[in-house]
């Protein structure tokens, strides 16, 4: 059957242009095949229990256009996609879940954006909110990057190039450095620079996730928080205060130990879909492509 063959080709190619050329079809015809396949898959999707959900956002187009993606963290599949990253978008995603899914969901991994929290509390009142360690790491990295940027600019004004070209070293885990990068980093006098002090606070916070019990993690956080807020580094202080404000939903990690790392893996796949298509005409095209490739659907006729 041609449709089954076409679906196999589209899946194998990934790139819409290549699939269209091989099948001698237009972009619109490829989209129609995928759209009908997704509709079939959604009709067949079983109403099974989902223990852990993940909600994440992804850039769709230039000009701050986003989509919000709802993921099944255990099955590593996309459940649904909505345009925008508003409270309404998240509410639509969660309200579309069946009663069985809502009852079975124990926790949702999300960023600290307030729109996520409000929508989850309304639609999944019995589920724990888990602020994701992946995003927390991003916040700390951004703080260190800002410190490096300001300090490097200041030093270069007096012809000091010590920090030039070192940004990558401050933002990546040392265990991932090459021998050359390790040598370059070790040659820096970390304690002499503001970025070094920010880096120390970022690195020490990684220990937070290694605790077995929530109580011990909370004690560690309080000590780290004091150290961070007395650093005289505004970007670090800002992140520390944000974490302290949301500590209740960060500590839930120790009950479930879920992260949005899976969602970020899905995001990488979404980025690949986006790149292979070289842009989408509208949101519907993008949504269909995501669910076709990442929805875990039975799409064959």
Dihedral pair phi/psi, residue 134, rounded to 5°: -60, -45
Residue 16 maps to a domain: no
So what's the pLDDT on residue 182?
85
Is the pLDDT reported for residue 270 higher than 90? Answer: no
> Inter-axis angle of helices 27-44 and 283-294, to 10 degrees?
60
The better pLDDT of the pair 272, 8 is held by 8
The tokens describing 83, both together, are 């345009």
For the chain, what is the domain count? 2
Residue 18 maps to a domain: no
Q: What is the pLDDT of residues 257-268, one digit of tens each?
A: 998 876 667 878
Q: What is the pTM of this model?
A: 0.89
Residue 35 maps to a domain: no
- Look up tokens 């030093």; give the residue: 155
So what's the pLDDT on residue 196?
95
Say yes or no: 189 and 173 in one domain. Answer: yes
Give the confidence band of 301 by pLDDT, cuts at 50, 70, 90: very high
Q: What is the pLDDT of residues 220-256, one digit of tens each?
A: 999 999 999 999 999 999 999 999 999 999 999 999 9
Say yes or no: 163 and 243 in one domain. Answer: yes
Q: Which of 82-86, 182-186, 255-259 has the highest mean pLDDT?
A: 255-259
Domain boundary among 241, 256, 271: 256
So what's the pLDDT on residue 110?
94
Say yes or no: 123 and 224 in one domain. Answer: no
Say yes or no: 166 and 154 in one domain. Answer: yes
Residue 284 maps to a domain: no
Average pLDDT of span 113-136: 93
> Percentage of residues in the chain with pLDDT exceeding 90?
72
Q: How far is CA 204 from CA 1, 81, 174, 210, 259, in A?
A: 58, 36, 13, 11, 19
CATH of residue 58: 3.30.420.10
Q: What is the pLDDT of residues 217-228, one digit of tens each?
A: 999 999 999 999
Residue 144 maps to a domain: yes
Say yes or no: 181 and 248 in one domain. Answer: yes
So what's the pLDDT on residue 16?
84
The better pLDDT of the pair 10, 176 is held by 10
Say yes or no: 199 and 141 in one domain. Answer: yes
Q: In angstroms, rounded to a whole number, what is the distance separating the alpha carbons of residues 250 and 218?
A: 10
Least confident range of 39-48, 176-185, 193-202, 241-250 = 176-185
Is the pLDDT reported for residue 14 higher than 80? Answer: no
Per the structure, the complete domain to which residue 157 belongs is given by: 133-256
Q: In angstroms, rounded to a whole number, what is the distance separating the alpha carbons of residues 53 and 40?
A: 23
Say yes or no: 118 and 156 in one domain. Answer: no
**Mean pLDDT of all residues belonging to the chain:** 92
Dihedral pair phi/psi, residue 190, rounded to 5°: -55, -45
Least confident range of 15-19, 58-62, 171-175 = 58-62
Is the pLDDT reported for residue 280 higher than 70? Answer: no
Say yes or no: 125 and 137 in one domain. Answer: no
Say yes or no: 266 and 227 in one domain. Answer: no
Say yes or no: 169 and 107 in one domain. Answer: no
Residue 13 maps to a domain: no
Residue 36 maps to a domain: no
Give the confidence band of 277 by pLDDT, cuts at 50, 70, 90: low
Say yes or no: 143 and 242 in one domain. Answer: yes
């Amino acid at each position: 059957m041609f449709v089954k063959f076409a679906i196999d080709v589209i899946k194998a190619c990934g790139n819409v242009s290549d699939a269209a050329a091989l099948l001698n079809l237009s972009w619109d015809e490829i989209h129609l095949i995928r759209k009908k396949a997704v509709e079939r898959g959604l009709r067949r999707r079983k109403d099974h229990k989902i223990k852990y959900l993940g909600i994440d956002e992804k850039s769709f187009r230039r000009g701050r256009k986003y989509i919000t993606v709802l993921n099944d963290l255990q099955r590593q599949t996309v459940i649904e996609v909505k345009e925008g990253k508003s409270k309404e978008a998240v509410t639509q995603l969660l309200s579309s879940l069946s009663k069985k899914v809502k009852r079975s969901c124990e926790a949702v991994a999300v960023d600290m954006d307030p729109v996520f929290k409000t929508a989850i509390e309304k639609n999944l009142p019995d589920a724990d909110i888990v602020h994701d360690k992946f995003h927390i790491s991003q916040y700390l990295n951004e703080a260190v990057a800002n410190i490096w940027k300001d300090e490097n600019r200041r030093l270069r004004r007096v012809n000091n190039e010590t920090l030039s070209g070192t940004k990558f070293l401050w933002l990546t885990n040392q265990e991932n450095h090459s021998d050359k990068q390790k040598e370059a980093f070790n040659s820096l006098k970390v304690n002499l620079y503001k970025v070094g002090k920010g880096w120390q606070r970022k690195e020490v916070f990684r220990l937070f996730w290694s605790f077995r019990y929530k109580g011990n993690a909370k004690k560690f956080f309080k000590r780290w928080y004091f150290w961070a807020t007395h650093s005289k580094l505004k970007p670090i202080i800002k992140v520390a205060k944000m974490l302290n404000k949301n500590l209740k939903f960060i500590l839930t990690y120790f009950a479930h130990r879920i992260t949005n790392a899976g969602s970020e893996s899905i995001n990488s796949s979404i980025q690949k879909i986006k790149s292979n298509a070289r842009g989408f005409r509208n949101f519907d095209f993008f949504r269909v492509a995501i669910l076709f490739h990442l929805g875990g659907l039975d799409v064959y006729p």
